[in-house]
Structure formats: C-alpha cells, structure tokens
Structure 1
Amino acid sequence: MKRSTKRRLRQGVLYGVLAAVVVFLAVSVDWPNVRANFWAPGLAGNWHDLIVTGVKNTAVYTIIAFALGLALALLLALMKMSDVVAYRWLATGYIELFRGLPALVTILFMAFAVPIAFHWKPPGGTAGAGVVGLVLVAGAYMAETLRAGLQAVPKGQAEAARSLGMGPVATMVHIVIPQAFRIIIPPLTNEFVLLIKDTSLLSIVGATVGQRELTNVMRDFQTSGNTTGTATSLTQAALLYLVITLPLTRLVAWQEKRQQRAR
C-alpha cells in the first residue's frame, strides 16, 4: 500500500472517530434543558444594557489601562536598560512584583487597602481604583515586551543616527522607539486582548450603575429579572466578549504572518 494511501486512510479513520464523538454528544445532550438555562426567553431587554453600559465601559476601561500601562511600560523599559544601577534595580523589582502578583490581588489592594492606608480617594471610586490596578499590572507585562523590542533594533541604526549628529535622547525617540514599536505590535495587540478580559476582574470591587463593565452587568441580570437562576446572561456576555476579542486575535495572527513574510 502506498504511503499516500495509508495517510488518507489514517485521516479518514480520525475524521470518522471525530464525527462519532460529535454525534454521540449531540444525541446525549438534553437540548430543552440547555435552551432553558443558557438561552431562556426574554432576552431582548438584556442586550441593551449589556452593550450600551457593559461593552462601552469595558472598552473605556481597556483603553485607559492600555494607554497608561504602555506609558508606564516604556518608562520601566528605559529604566531597566539604563546605565544607572539603581534605576535598573527599581524597574526590575517593580516588574517582578506585579508580574508575580495575581491581577485580582493588585486590583483589591488598589480598591480597598491603598485608599484606607494613604487616605487616597481614587478617581471614579472603587472602579477607578481597579483600573489603576490594571494599569500597574499591564505596565509590568508590557515593560518586558518593550525592552525586548528596543533591544531587537539593530545597534547600527543608533550608531548611524549618532554619526549624523543626533543626541542620545533624539536617537532613542526618533530612531529606536519607532522601530521597536513596529516589531512588538503583535504582542502589544495580544496584551490589549488580555486587558479586555481582565476588566472582568473589576466586577469584584463593585461599581455604580453607570460604571459597570460587561461582567458586572451580566451578574446583575443573573440575580434579577426573568433570567434569574439561569446562565442566559452569562451566555450573552460570553458572546459579546467573543465578538470583541476574536477579530483582535485574528489581527494578531495576521500581523505575525506579515512580519514573518517581511523577514
């Protein structure tokens, strides 16, 4: 028997096993019970608050956390690459601390412990303090990504700029940093996707009606209205998260393939 024939037979067997498993699961599932729990009637009213309040605030919190976290990450990356030993130690200590702590612990610290200890009134209340926690965590993770990108820029680029009379700061701002950002666009996009999902952690600290993100709105629907005791609102929130994140993850894959072709 030819090798190609064996390969086709093996693939046919594998497809057959997969089809049998799918049919078995489809037959064994209690579909009426699934519909009653995951897609109960009376959904129309949920979508408005989930989208207008939940999705909007999730987007706002993500953009704020990403923008401020990126600025913090750039500062940390430059400190870690500095000739000043104290700066390198501070940056390394910060990065290791906030990468080692769970994001939820950091959010709880910023929402409850820090305001009490330092008499700090966070902007936006506990939700604003939670966003600050996300900024601290995102900055730590993106700092290592930025440092890798800065170090990936060929040294000849900086040397050429210096030979043309550009100073160290101008070389870093106009030559090195722009090239580094082009290199790290895919991992930064991936970090943006992770931040979208991490905003769900803000639901643990509470928020006013207008400050609720997507998970918080979903929890409110789970405990009230005609979907009480079912996973209907959870299913709706999951679908909305997928609508937001799946295009971004495909964008990351496209960017990575594009960079591979360029190399």
Structure 2
Amino acid sequence: MSEEFKEVIRHINRAKAYVNKFEAIRTMQCIVDALELLMKSSSIFGRERFELEILLGEVLRTLASMDEMRNIFPKGLTYKKGQEKTLHGILTKVLKTISEAIEKAEIDKFRKRKNEIDRYMLQGQKLLDEKNFIEARKVLRRTQELFADEPGINQDIGQRLFKAGLAPEALEFFEAAIRQDNRDPRPYSYMINVQESLGELEKAEHYVKEAFKNFGGNERIYLRMAQLAVKLRKWDEAFDAAQQVLELNPYSQEAMEVMKQAKPRVFGRGADGQAAGGQGGSGQPIKFDI
C-alpha cells in the first residue's frame, strides 16, 4: 500500500465524515484535495485505483443527494478513472461560487446590522435632543439589548447619555463597556468624568488607579491623579503626580497649577523645596496605592 494511496484515503475518509454531518462545503474541499493527489500520483493503480473509484463514487453520490446540492448537481455526481481533472474543475468552481455567495451574504448581513444600529442610535439621539429622556432611554436600552455583542455599543450609548446630562444613567453603560473590553482605555476615562461630575471623587480616583494599573502611566493619567488628589486634599499624592507630569511635559500649565497648590502644603509655606518634617514629595518615582 503506497503512501500516496494512504493520503488519498485519509482525504476521502474526512469527506465521508463531513458528508454524514451534511457539511457540503467541507466535503467538497476534501474531495478536491483527494483529486489533486490522484492527478499527481504515478504510484496508485490496479486494485488501489479500483478501491478509490468505489469510495469516491459513494461520497459523491451522497453529496449530490443533499438537499442544497440537488439544484447544483441535478444529474448527480459520478467518478471514473481519467475524470479526475474534469471533476476537480467542477467542484473547484462550485466551491468558489459558494464561497463568494457566502462572503456576499456576510457582507450584506454586516451592512444590514450596521444600518439597523444606526437607525436605533439616531432615533435615540433625536429623542435626547428633544429632551424626551424617558423615551430616549427606552430606545437606547433596546439598542443595547438587541446588539449587546457589538463592539463599542455600550460606550457609544454611555457617551450620548452623558452629553445629554444624564450622568447617572450613563454609568451602567460605561461599566458594561469595561466588562465588554477591559483593554480599551476610553471607558475608564468616561467613568472618571462621570464619577467626578457626580461628586463621587473617591470612585473617580478608583478608576484612575484602575486605568494606571491596566495601561501604565502617561501624562494624562498622572494629571488626572494630581487633579483628583487636590480635590481630595491628598497633597503628597497631588505633588508626586504633578511632578510625574512635569517630567513628561515640563510646560504643562495644569501640572504647574497643581504644584502651586500642593507644594506649600507638602513642604510648608515659604519652603525652598526641601521636605519639611519628613513629609512626602521626595522626588522618588511615584508609588500609588493600587
């Protein structure tokens, strides 16, 4: 038994398994793979060739009898020695046609879904603009329920509600956005803004530190830390965070303003920059409690 024969048999056996599961596309692909080997082979002949004729014939008849294949192969499918190239061409063409049809159907489905989302979102936004908040929330919640797996859907709804002045209602959508994709820094930023607008400074600080933990430090994160620390009267943290901002951007006016407020409280009024009484602001790399 030649190795080429064994390989063809493997493809045919896979085709038989798929045809028994009514998976026409995978069945045809396995048959095409088997036929390609047969066309190239010079070592399969005699009894082995006869055995393959029988096996391929069985699979092809079953394939052609499948409901979705009857219109494509109204006269059925058969195989005889010497027909490999013809049969290979027929099946390859059918596979290409089906693949293109599936791709077109997927594109059409995608476009239809996007258009449907846009329709709901525009309806919700129109109601928000008209200050009809009760109906707007109903429409936007329905949008979330229908398209829960759509990337960015929760963030989009949250933004619309927040911009309309509905900060408490926006919270749950930003929380859902973080659960949906915690690798996206934008929902964290919105959560910080919403919590701060509601006066929930400790919660805003929590999300700043979560963002720092997940995405690392940058000028924007450090500045938000510094500004929130000022509001919470955590002067050491405000000073250290502002210092980090200025190391990244020495011209940051916002960080300078934080420094102006924090420095006298950390070092004492009139201090020349040395720490007083062993307090913070050591100039060492910032270490936040996260």
Q: Structure 2 length as normaliser, TM-score? A: 0.21
Relative CO higher for 1 or 2, CA cutoff 8 Å, sep ≥ 6?
A: 1
Who wins on radius of gyration, i.e. which is larger?
A: 2
Structure number with higher helix proportion: 1
